[in-house]
Amino acid sequence: MGAHVEAVRDSATFAQSVDVVVIGGGIVGTAAAYELARKGVSVALLEKGRIGAEQSSRNWGWCRQQNRDFPELPLSIYSLRRWEELGPETGRELGFRRSGLVYASTKAAELATWEAWIDKARAYGFVSHMLSSSEAKQRTPGSTSDWLGGLWSPSDGRAEPSLASPALAAAARDLGAFVHQNCAVRGLDISAGKVTGVWTERGLIKAQKVVCAGGAWSSRFCRRHGIDLPNLNVIGTALKTTAAAEVISGGLATPGFALRRRLDGAYSLSISGRGRFELTPQGLRHAPKFRVAFKSRLAKLKYRVGPSFFSGPEALGSWALDAVSPFERHRVLDPRPDQQMVEEALTSLVREYPALAGIKAERAWGGLIDSTPDIIPVISPVDQLPGFIIASGFSGHGFGIGPGAGRLIADLAVSDTPIVDPAAFRLERFSDGSEIRQPKMM
């Protein structure tokens, strides 16, 4: 049945010609549309299904700087600042609370990795604290494990995936942006080697710039125009519990589960690093590029041939711009959750917190995680096609960084000084050899 997401009203009139078209109404596309509208730019936000209904409503809701890869830490720090401002600025509830994030562990190797990370993070002005065994216990009152130690970042937070993208889309509309749902973009309008608009299922919209924020679909969209965006989609599972007593006010990661307190008095629950991987033609083509990134996770992934081999974001095949496209055939991707993981996570949670005995899964869902070979997103103009900007591949941590990404996209689209150095996010790093080839934080 998928995760819940609030409904958003469409604009009354259909866009004909704008400065910027944004494809995709997830957290990245809605934040970009909002920041563009705030800059006074005319913008149309086009979503094939419903605003926020794919990854952006299916995530855990963590807004995290802690344990980020360093190239994206400055954008994460900016993003947390923006999360705090956006509620008051838009007058809408995004569910953001700066409630901190605790990691607790019984594994010495894990603690050593965190310690090395916080030393380097200080140079970026970010502070999180190593916790001793007794401090980890104090941060997790009621837990039963004898923690060896932990990590604590008071400035991290949580937001509500069901609220955030809808709130930003509505706020963009309040500022004059066009918002159109059930409006798939079939492809780009290109003339004299430049982007001049998009072909949608409702006709042509002229634009000087087009941002592709299509999440798991971006790679297929780009391939239609001869642009290679290396991408692998992994299916994650999460669940909403029944309402229960508060054992943690923010986020908690342990080896057995990952937990987030929700505004509605329940929890979002999952297990770190778990996922399902469907073998697909495009996945197999891109797999060699992902050897390093996925090395440490291979044992935690399940593999199978699924329906996405033949249709969906990683299937082969092109389409005409005046005929029904794959995007209209899949209004909302709703992969089934991994029931075994759901039960394991609940068992682990209750073992850790006996006070939560009787807690159940109210609903569980799957969601595609679009990953790049270095687990860092692409937020980048495309050299080979002027006017086209890709903002995709957020690799399982795009919700927290979404507001920052939206601002950076807006800066790039109108050639303002970018809020952070965008070099780490260039698309061309995958073809010019500058990509960072190390096992990454996930």
Ligand X SMILES: Cc1cc2nc3c(=O)[nH]c(=O)nc-3n(C[C@H](O)[C@H](O)[C@H](O)COP(=O)(O)OP(=O)(O)OC[C@H]3O[C@@H](n4cnc5c(N)ncnc54)[C@H](O)[C@@H]3O)c2cc1C
Residue range at the interface with ligand X (CB under 6 A); choices 148-156, 282-290, 394-402, 422-430? 394-402
Listed in sequence order, the residues at least 6 apart from 238 whose beta carbon sits closer than 8 Å to its beta carbon are 3, 58, 59, 60, 268, 269, 270, 337, 364, 365, 367
Nearer to ligand X, 214 or 230 (CB): 214
Q: Does 59 bind ligand X (CB under 6 A)?
A: yes
- Report how far Cα 8 is from the mean position of its chain's Cα atoms: 20
Q: Which of 215, 250, 312, 404 binds ligand X (CB under 6 A)?
A: 215
Structure tokens at 353: 């917190």
Q: Is 272 helix (H, G, I), strand (E, B) or coil?
A: coil
CB of 354 to ligand X, least distance (A): 26
Nearer to ligand X, 137 or 237 (CB): 237
Q: Does 389 bind ligand X (CB under 6 A)?
A: no
- Pick from 254, 249, 261, 251: nearest CA to 104: 254
Residue range at the interface with ligand X (CB under 6 A); choices 26-34, 89-97, 282-290, 350-358? 26-34
Listed in sequence order, the residues at least 6 apart from 436 whose beta carbon sits closer than 8 Å to its beta carbon are 69, 71, 374, 376
How buried is residue 43: exposed, middle or buried, by Cβ count under 10 Å (0-12/13-18/19+)? buried
The count of residues interacting with ligand X (CB under 6 A) is 40
Q: Which of 5, 21, 22, 56 binds ligand X (CB under 6 A)?
A: 56
Q: Does 356 bind ligand X (CB under 6 A)?
A: no
How far is Cα 294 from Cα 147, in angstroms, rounded to an integer?
A: 27
Q: Which of 5, 8, 37, 61 binds ligand X (CB under 6 A)?
A: 61
Pick out residues in 62-121 that bind ligand X (CB under 6 A).
62
Nearer to ligand X, 137 or 283 (CB): 283
Nearer to ligand X, 137 or 170 (CB): 170
Nearer to ligand X, 114 or 137 (CB): 114
Find the helix or strand (DSSP H, E) in which 100 lies: none
Report residue 194: phi and psi, to 5°.
-120, 155
Q: Provide the binding-site residues for ligand X, judged by CB under 6 A.
A: 23-29, 46-49, 53-56, 58-62, 184-185, 213-217, 221, 236, 238, 327, 367, 369, 392, 394, 396-400
